[in-house]
Amino acid sequence: MKCEDFRCCRTRGLKPSPLLGKGGVAAPSKRCCEATESGADGVVGSKKIAQAFSKIKCRFAASLRCAILLCLLICVLIQPSYAADKWLSVRFKDFLVIGNANEPDIRRVGRYLEEFRSAFAMMFPKVEQTSSVPTTIVVFKNDESFVPYKPVYDGKPANAVAYFQPGEDVNYIAVSQALSSPSVIFHEYVHFLTREGSGALPIWAREGLAECYGTFEMNGRQNEFTLGRAPETHIATLTEKPFLPLKTLFAVDSGSPYYNEAAKQGIFYAESWALTHYLILGAEGKRRSQFVQFLTLLGRGDPVEDSFAEAFQTDYGTLEDELRDYVRKRSTWPMLKVAARETIQVDARSLKTTTLSEAESEYYLGDLLLHINRLGDSETHLQNAISKDPNLIPAQASFGILRVRQRNYDEAVTLLKKAVESDAKNHITNFYYAYVLERFENEGATAPATDFSTRYELMRTYAKKSIELAPRFVEAYALLGRVNLLAGENLDESETLLKKAVSIAPGRHDLHLLLAQTYLRADKTADGRALLSNLARIASDPEIRRRATALLNQTEPRQAIFTEILPEKPAESVKEQPTEIRQPSPPPPLSGSRETVLEPVTPVEPAVQGEKVTGLLILLECTNGLTLRVRSDKGTADFHSSEPSKIQFLSYTADVSDNIACGPRNPGTPVSITYRPAASGPGEPLVVEFLEKK
């Protein structure tokens, strides 16, 4: 069959049915023609199609009915499977590059990134160049093959020519080979390099920096490169469209239409680039230190408007005018030229290329889809990988995690146990097995065959093994911290490990949150609250800010637990100072003392039944137990307890803290007392609540 047989669909104004890849995503119908001629892309070749249609009589070829039938049958039979393409892999020093693009393009992408990584390391020596998890770069041969593996936004594949997807076990950078410039790849790699060290930066700053440094270019020499070239697309966008007000730009977050929608992305990225370019390279460098100060204040959690005013010593309108003039009144742009002492150029030809099996390519595509949360499409690829190679351990592990996400814990445990038994020295499989056991526990799906202590030790064993095999793999530290938190045991171990994890990945605010939870569980409330307060201000993830704020509210020191009732003072002392209040010490710094003075709890209604009286406490008599004298609108009454330690003391006022002295109180202190009436004599106080003065 020739290509003309397919084109008959269009010559008569008919629309072919869409072709479905194995991911279940529609691919453009023009692939019918391409596949028929070449038989590539895992589709039925021309020879097989000819056989399939051998019984169709040529005498009907001229009829409209036959033409429609031919087109429909072709489109059913020809289903592109991108995993069936020839997939290659090249191992570079810091990452793995795979793709169905041609070999020179795969090597080119890897070489670009390796050279950029070297240049970035020279410019920013304090930025850790080795991620705590490995990175895989997927190079698709064209956008058509890329679309089924893009993140979904509003039910459609996102408008992206590349993206960076961080993960617990692996980071992915996905790009199309059909790029007019490597700047998109550099942009995503900046996100990768700065992710674990700049978690507090707002989105406009992260994207602006990535756009600026994404203009990296080698100068034709092995040790020279430039930064700062003005992208023509950004200049055109800023010339044609009105600028966003800075207040709007600064408010963009990951859920904003300006960050996700094609019609609005252009101006957001263009203005983020222009503002960053101006503040770093423009104004003869006068704004550079102010820009650094601005980002520092934002990273500290200070409000945007206050940070802006303090750093730039001006208002939004002034800087907006400067930015518009900078963009629209110049024909040349300042650039940064750098000459390195050592060669940064990479000879990618010396690196070995490996052809992936079809099972391996199915695994990588399925795992990529798993990481962008396209679970149904991921399942198709991972099942194909396992069916083609039942001994492919990474595919089994990935499929186990998929089952965790789908809450199918029984199958997940079986898969991951098999994976870890097959490859005991793989830190990822050890981590995943401990991980699924932890999820199994938290979701209440635990089989009753073993007690908790046995299951707890099993989780600890595999999490610690993962740390031992990969000391920079921070997810294993976090997992062990969560397991210890669940059990309420080995909290000192968790504190040590989580501090180490934070030192490896300081931008990972989820690790800071877990450390704060560990402090709270270990009764180090002041340490925990200090860390939570910082997270509530600076965390870039809204969910982490929400959780930090919720924990702060739960541990709000609105009342005090009395640790001591002090003996009565001499009369002359009582006159001058009726009560002696010891204020709790201020929260110690995170690196300081581990002791806290007082554990505050949130006020709740006393869970004690009894009668209640409200009035002024005018006497605490501490002989033969404790007697409280209260004056109310019903008169004066005494309440006595022979065991004061059984009384629950609550305080809703800053006037009363953790200690109170015995003796008369003048003026009286507002209280509400819940008591058990006695047949004769004073009632027995059960709860004493100190109230705000009205």
Q: At what angle do helices 375-388 and 358-371 cross, to 10 degrees?
A: 160
The reply to whether 510 falls in a domain is: yes
Q: What is the mean pLDDT of the chain?
A: 76
CB within 8 Å of 83: residues ≥ 6 apart: 22, 42, 358, 361, 362, 365, 381, 384
Among 22-26, 168-172, 365-369, the range scoring the smallest mean pLDDT is 22-26
Dist. CA 593–CA 570, nearest whole Å: 36
The reply to whether 107 falls in a domain is: no
- Report how far Cα 614 is from the mean position of its chain's Cα atoms: 50
Q: What is the pLDDT of residue 100?
A: 93
The reply to whether 401 falls in a domain is: no
Residue-number span of the structural domain to which 528 is assigned: 471-555
Looking at 515, 535, 555, the residue that finishes a domain is 555
What is the per-residue pLDDT across 213-268, written as a single tens digit (0 to 9) for each? 888 887 767 677 888 888 888 999 999 999 999 999 999 987 788 888 888 899 99
Q: What is the pLDDT of residue 422?
A: 84
Are 534 and 625 found together in one domain?
no
Among 70-74, 430-434, 643-647, the range scoring the smallest mean pLDDT is 70-74
The DSSP 8-state label assigned to residue 347 in this structure reads -
Residue 98 pairs in a beta bridge with: 89, 138
The reply to whether 381 falls in a domain is: no
Are 569 and 684 found together in one domain?
yes
The two three-digit tokens of residue 308, written as one number: 């802006």
The reply to whether 448 falls in a domain is: no
The reply to whether 359 falls in a domain is: no
pLDDT bucket at 491, cuts 50 / 70 / 90: very high
Q: What is the pLDDT of residue 654?
A: 65
Q: Are 428 and 169 in contact (CB under 8 A)?
A: yes
Looking at 65, 80, 95, the residue that finishes a domain is 80
At CB < 8 A and 24+ separation, what contacts does 459-468 make?
459/434, 459/483, 460/434, 460/484, 460/490, 461/434, 462/420, 462/430, 462/431, 462/433, 462/434, 462/437, 463/430, 463/431, 463/434, 465/427, 465/430, 466/427, 466/428, 466/430, 466/431, 466/434, 467/427, 467/497
The pTM (predicted TM-score) of the whole model is 0.55
What is the per-residue pLDDT across 264-296, written as a single tens digit (0 to 9) for each? 899 999 999 999 999 988 888 889 889 988 888
**At residue 103, what are phi and psi to the nearest 5 degrees?**
-60, -45
Looking at 555, 587, 618, the residue that finishes a domain is 555
Are 587 and 643 found together in one domain?
yes
The two three-digit tokens of residue 255, written as one number: 């859920």
652, with CB counted inside 10 A (0-12, 13-18, 19+), is middle
The reply to whether 206 falls in a domain is: no
658 versus 17: which is more confidently predicted?
A: 658
Total count of domains within the chain: 4
What is the per-residue pLDDT across 79-107, written as a single tens digit (0 to 9) for each? 455 566 899 999 988 789 999 998 988 88
The reply to whether 314 falls in a domain is: yes
Q: Are 619 and 629 in contact (CB under 8 A)?
A: yes
